[in-house]
Amino acid sequence: MATFFQSVRQGFGRGGNNKNNPPKSPAQAPQDPRTGAMSNSPSLSNSLTIDNLAANDPDAPKYFFQEKYAPLNVRGNFLTLCACPKNVEIGEWLAHQIVEQYRLLHGMLQVIQEVNGVTGVQICNESTCPTMSAGRLTYTWLVDGRAAKISAPKFINRVEKWIVSKIHDPVMFPTENVNGIPETAALRDAAAAASGAPVPEGANPGANGTGADEWIGKSSGFPQTFYKDCQGIMKQMFRCYAHLYHAHWLNPFWHINKHDILNMCFVHFVTVAKYYQLVSDKEMEPMQPLIDLFIKQQRVPPEALNGGHWAQQAST
């Protein structure tokens, strides 16, 4: 296999945390959309438990769906970051995109995994987030072959471990030259399901010209299930973003003035997901109002909609 993906994966940690480097509070905390100005007190997070409880109320206002609360901290077209260069094989490029999207998501998850110095618990904890919810929707996890509701911190922890294990799986994400056709990841997925890990869903896109004997990434040594696995990983990452917004947009992202960075990461994620058809429209429903807003603003570029990459391939 070519060395592109191997080069971009260098330095990617195996789920290592940098919790010793929490995001710094801005010099001036933003105005709370509900209660007015907030002081920039170092003990602010100690008094914000109620914000988590309110955020987990499905009837609570969703400020992040409003345009005035949806800025980005960067300008530019995210298509330049997600479109596959002509000299890079698509399988390698998708592998790179998965690693990059997880890197960005992991940075956002670290924000809610910050431990309160007084209570000794994370911002996202068993009490404030007893389920992995996104508004009225609750995500479940396979436990002993059955769908079970588990707390958000447990769900997120398992998702992160699962994604990292996939990225460092030499079968799914090979970095060495492969002779012949590699074994598929079907047996590994079956074992993951038995252990409670999420099983990827989705099929290869019909517009990309692949068939039973051809698949995305074949020429670079990726297994036949590679694209399907990428869909599964992106789906679980989307669920983490949905929880970040619905349960934690106010506390902590708004209070520490990092909501614009969260928006930037999410727009990048949605652009990649739509451009390569990695997350279904139905799966995206919990965040659809914000996605529609970003589409209207062309933050998510028109070229990314309706599987822009596969449409482009079909027309050439």
Residues in the chain: 316
* Number of CB atoms found within 10 A of residue 93's CB: 22
Q: Does the annotation place 82 within a ligand binding site?
A: no
**What are the tokens at 301?**
């570029």
Q: Does the annotation place 243 within a ligand binding site?
A: yes
Give the whole-angstrom CA distance, residue 219 versus residue 246.
Answer: 41
Give the whole-angstrom CA distance, residue 123 versus residue 120.
Answer: 10
Give the whole-angstrom CA distance, residue 11 versus residue 282.
Answer: 35
204, 215 in Cβ contact below 8 A? yes
- Look at the block and give the residue holding tokens 């070229």: 303
Q: Of all helices (H) and strands (E), which one includes residue 146? A: strand 146-148
Q: Does the annotation place 129 within a ligand binding site?
A: yes
Q: Does the annotation place 255 within a ligand binding site?
A: no
Q: In sequence order, what are the beta bridge partners of 211?
A: 214
Binding site: residue ranges?
Answer: 124, 129, 243, 248
Binding site for Zn(2+): residue ranges?
Answer: 124, 129, 243, 248
